[in-house]
Homo-oligomer: A and B are copies of this chain.
Amino acid sequence: MAAPHFGSDNVSGVAPEILEALAAANAGGVDSYGGDALTGSLDARFAEVFETDVSVLPVGTGTVANDLAVSFIAPPWGAVYCHRDSHIVVDEANGPEFFSGGAKLADLPGEHGRLDPATVRAAATAFDPTDVHHPMRAGLSITQATERGTLYSVDEVAALGALAAELGLAFHMDGARFANAVAALGCAPADIAWKAGVDILSFGATKNGCMAVEALVVFGDRRGEFDTLRRLHKRAGQLFSKMRFFAAQLDAYLADGRWLAWAGHANAMARRLADGLAAIDGVELLHPVQANEIFLKMPEAAFERMKTTGFGFYPPGPAGDIRLVTAFDTDAGDVDALIAAAGGC
* A19, CB-defined interface residue at 8 Å: yes
A77 contact set on B, CB distance < 8 A: 93-94, 231-232, 234-235
* Complex: A5 Cα to B5 Cα, angstroms: 43
Known: A62-B241, A76-B235, A103-B97. A32 touches B14 (CB 8 A): no
Q: Could you jot down 17 A-B contacts, CB within 8 Å?
A: A8-B32, A13-B26, A14-B242, A19-B22, A22-B211, A60-B240, A61-B237, A64-B238, A76-B231, A77-B232, A77-B235, A92-B235, A92-B237, A102-B235, A133-B239, A211-B242, A212-B245
Binding site for B on A (CB under 8 A): 1-5, 7-8, 10-14, 19, 22-23, 25-33, 59-65, 67, 75-79, 89-95, 97-99, 101-105, 126-127, 132-136, 206-207, 211-212, 228, 230-242, 244-246, 312, 318
Known: A67-B236, A94-B103. 6 other contacts (CB 8 A): A60-B237, A62-B237, A98-B102, A102-B235, A132-B230, A212-B212
* Complex: A211 Cα to B22 Cα, angstroms: 9
* Complex: A312 Cα to B31 Cα, angstroms: 8
Measured between C-beta atoms, what is the minimum distance from A9 to chain B in Å? 9
Known: A19-B26, A29-B5. A93 touches B240 (CB 8 A): no
Measured between C-beta atoms, what is the minimum distance from A207 to chain B in Å? 7
